[in-house]
Amino acid sequence: MTREELSCIIQTYKTKQQNKNKTPEDPVEYLITEINKNRKGELTMKQNLIMDIVQGMLPYLNNAQTQRLQEVLQHTLFDYEVAKTESDKGLSEQNLVELFLSAKRIEGCSEKTLKYYKATIQAMIDSIGKGIKYIVTDDIRCYLTEYQSNKNSSKVTIDNIRRILSSFFSWLEDEDYILKSPVRRIHKVKTGTNIKETYSDEALELMRDNCTELRDLAMIDMLASTGMRVGEMVLLNREDIDFNERECVVFGKGDKERVVYFDARTKIHLQNYLQSRRDNNPALFVSLKAPYERLKIGGIEVRLRNFGKQLGLSKVHPHKFRRTLATMAIDKGMPIEQLQQLLGHRKIDTTLQYAMVKQSNVKLAHRKYIG
């Protein structure tokens, strides 16, 4: 510790005592405490310096050489004081996050996904309060535990955060920005298997029968018969619909195109809706009142939720139509590979999660094949 630093501690003590109206703090105890704090800070800076040097040499050294370099640096710097000049550390860390997001953008991630990645990573950095290069496994474990406790989050949410952080730190490791990912030893969070609800035939008919707007009827039929994502539906234009073939091209996740198909009932209801419109908006679905703007995801979600409440139906939302179609298709014997193509899933595991096999069919299959 330098003489200037010791003088600063003494001056701080005098200032604190002048502002207090109680018994003065013991100067010896105060001095010992502050000196220990200072030494601890010096030790942390020294460790960080060693880590920075080792990480900078990673591309040029093997594991044995890296370990030896670390030992030599610790021995050499033992008797030295380390002081760090203030630099724009935040900008450097922000650059690492932006570089990661750029890599994910090239891989085809949507802007919505990238925004979620950035918010998740930034929340972790702000909470832990360390430089990215100095975050260790225990820091991540504590962060996930506190996050779950404070926000009462589900295991699925925590595992999503873990997965994003794992992707971020693995990328840093692959690009030689860090020695080893601190998330590597944090395993996938085990989550229970929840059987998610689907719409019954009665519920679907009840919604159709109670639609007072042609638009809403066409919208429900479009979701129910195609199984498209609501985010894909709001991007559709009138010209995208091929009524002769009863199909349309949608842009899925990662801007991937695929063809989806609709039934005869949807065709009729969609034509009735489009013929009733008096606006020039090219969008397939627009608001009911002027200026007749393109419907957004949030607008459809709110409309269906309120509609469900009026009819006494629980959990009415767009994605449930998609899950219902998947379950119905599996139930009627559609090959899983074809369903995967229809839903636009990259991995067949995702399709299997969507499709819920009815227990009654399991019972019939057991009697048919086993006896």
- In which residue are the tokens 């010096």 written? 42
Q: Which of 25-29, 73-77, 143-147, 223-227 has the lowest mean pLDDT?
A: 25-29
CA-CA distances (angstroms) from residue 156 to 82, 138, 191? 43, 21, 6
pLDDT above 70: residue 35: no
Quick: pLDDT tens for 299-327.
Answer: 999 999 999 999 999 889 999 999 999 98
Q: Give the count of beta carbons closer than 10 Å to the beta carbon of residue 347.
A: 9
Tell me the average pLDDT across 49-65. Answer: 75
pLDDT above 90: residue 183: yes
Tell me the average pLDDT across 130-147. Answer: 90
Query: Would you say 336 and 355 are in contact if contact means Cβ atoms under 8 Å apart?
Result: yes
- The C-alpha atoms of residue 327 and residue 330 are separated, in whole angstroms, by 5
Q: What distance lies between CA 353 and its chain's CA centroid?
A: 18
Do the strands 241-242 and 247-251 form a parallel or antiparallel pair, or are they unpaired? Answer: antiparallel
Quick: pLDDT tens for 76-121.
Answer: 877 776 666 655 444 467 789 999 999 998 887 888 889 999 999 9
Q: Give the count of beta carbons closer than 10 Å to the beta carbon of residue 165.
A: 22
pLDDT classification of 371: cutoffs 50, 70, 90: low
pLDDT classification of 214: cutoffs 50, 70, 90: very high
End-to-end alpha carbon distance in the chain: 84
Between residues 146 and 47, the one the model is more confident about = 146
